[in-house]
Amino acid sequence: MNRIYQEIEKKVSNESDRLFVSEKLQAFKESSDVGELNCIGKDLFPYEKKYMKLYGKECDILITTVGMREAPIIFSFLALRPKKGILLHTPQSEKTADKVINDHNIVSLGIKFEKVGIDEIDAAKNFQILKDQVLSKVKNKESVFVDPTGGRKVMGVSVATFAFFYRIPMVYLHAEEKMSIPIPFSGTIREIANPYECYGDIELSMLKRHFDRYDFDAALELCGKLEATVNDPILSLKLQKIVKLIEIYRDWDAFLHSTHFQGVSSKEEEARTKLADRLENLHRKELKRFGYKLANEKTMENNIEFLKKLQECWVNKKNICDPYRLVDLYANARRRAEQKKFDDATARLYRCLEMCSSIELQKFGMKDPNQPDYASFAQHIDIDLATLSQRFKVAAENYDLPDKLGLKAQMTLLSLTSSKIPVIYKAMDNQDKNKDNVMEKRNRSILAHGTNPIVAEDYKILDSSTWSMILEVVGSKDKAKDLINKATFPEMMI
């Protein structure tokens, strides 16, 4: 108790008060009678309240559990001096809450009180009560404190779980004891460190879920919150690598690898679009160096290989059509379908059909559908331009060769060749053979020319036909499967 005597010398400014407190503490030290110890504690209670040390941090709201003893609750309010107090009581401890509210030292502070009833033993019910009745009152969490000192342990567990989960600072009144009785003037307010803030376990789990569901912006936002609160230096460094990984896959998902630069581009802009370089540098120079396994290594190696192909095939023009971008676009459509965004997925599948026909036309000398070289095309299929024009008009039901080729015109041209993809397209667009007429449903969708949403069944039909067309364009089922495997995003391993 030597420390307490030293504190008394500092805390108790009035000499007669100091003498009285010292005598009572000496009697407390020498006694071994529980009844006497309790009496001494009651005698010193008014002096403890009078000389309670201020906590020193601004407190707008103090949320406390209330047990059968009012003293620890009163001490907390005197130390933190909040503007508002929320007293969490059970039916049995409501009288204690009233004693706290009506204590003359507390009344003098002008604190606005609110009582909230909680359960004595049901932690899950208490969490729900706190969430429904207390959380909405907590705005600036930095100036709100939770104190679970009073009441039963289950009440403390409920409140602590609530405070930790919602990142509300928590304190408790720490007091030394003799024979299970608090030693007067030993009580001090201490802050309880939040383990979730130190190690971010809950956020990391949520972060993985966001990444695995391709919600990259939400994942990055969560990383920002973690970086601002996490105290573990190892995790802090790891978070920097996680952010880089998320940014790369976010940019890949946004087709940044196919950026068309208009005018002079900076080295920084060009470097950002080189996703293969970014992922390879992160994977081989940073993650392996520090021993981080943020994703399956084989999947990342496959992704790097695929991105390199995209990077090698890139040219600075508006419409780049190659098998790698085709497969990448199809993989992107699958990700949107996994998110149940079937209209977005269908819009991408339709672009896959356009890219399929454009790539196929390249095999017959047609380099750019927007600037069609009909003479070259005619030469590749061993006919003259006049014959091509005549055959197209018949196939297109009396339409002439257009200045720019849309999807239907491209497929009409390809129907004059040995290509198999026009057959697949015709089946998709044929009302007689395909009762669903998926192309008509696509055309009536809100991202095309109508307002109808695409449902899963419609998407699946279009997906099946698009995949069949991709197999023809890529050259073989095995090659197409290999490419789609290498374009598949990994799951995060944290």
The 3-state DSSP composition of the chain as helix, strand, coil percent (nearest 5) reads: 60, 10, 30
* Separation between Cα atoms, residue 362 and residue 421, nearest integer Å: 14
pLDDT tens-place string over residues 200-232: 677 888 999 999 999 999 999 999 988 887 777
For range 380-390, the mean pLDDT:
96
- 198 has pLDDT over 70: no
Mean pLDDT of 426-436: 66
- Alpha-carbon distance 453 to 411, whole Å? 26
The answer to whether the CB of 316 falls within 8 A of the CB of 270 is: no
- pLDDT for the residue numbered 436: 53
Q: In the prediction, which pLDDT does 46 show?
A: 96
Bridge partners of 189, per DSSP, are 173
Write down the residue that tokens 């003479």 correspond to: 375
At 408 the pLDDT is 93
Three-state DSSP state, 32? coil
**Nearest CA among 62, 95, 67 for reference residue 152:** 67
The pLDDT of residue 389:
96
Please report how the helices 477-486 and 323-338 are oriented relative to each other, as an axis angle in degrees rounded to 10. 60
Read off the pLDDT of residues 324-375 as tens digits, 9 standing for 90 and up: 999 999 999 999 999 999 999 999 999 999 999 999 999 999 999 999 999 9
How high is the pLDDT of residue 199?
61
The tens digit of pLDDT for each residue in 282-307 reads 999 999 988 899 999 999 999 999 99
- pLDDT-above-90 percentage for the chain: 79
pLDDT digits 0-9 by tens, 448-478: 888 889 999 999 999 999 999 999 999 999 9
Tell me how far apart the alpha carbons of residues 453 and 157 are, in angstroms, rounded to a whole number.
47
- Quote the tokens at residue 147: 């104190």
Grouping H, G, I as helix, E, B as strand and the rest as coil, residue 317 is coil
376 has pLDDT over 90: yes
Residue 384 — very low, low, confident or very high, per pLDDT cuts 50/70/90?
very high
Per-domain residue ranges for the chain?
2-192, 199-313
For the beta carbon of residue 492, count every other beta carbon within 10 angstroms. Answer: 20
Percent of the chain with pLDDT over 70: 98
Which residues make beta-bridge pairs with 64?
87, 147
User: Using one digit for the tens of pLDDT, what is the confidence trace for 119-157?
Assistant: 998 999 999 999 999 999 888 888 999 999 999 998 999
pLDDT at 425 over 70: yes
206 vs 444, more confident: 206
Work out the mean pLDDT of the chain and round it to a whole number: 92
Answer yes or no: CATH 1.20.120.140 is held by domain 2-192.
Answer: no
Residue 281 φ/ψ, nearest 5 degrees: -65, -45
pTM score: 0.70
Which backbone phi and psi does 170 adopt, to 5 degrees?
Answer: -125, 140
Least confident range of 179-183, 231-235, 314-318, 375-379: 231-235
Once rounded to an integer, what is the mean pLDDT over residues 260-280? 92
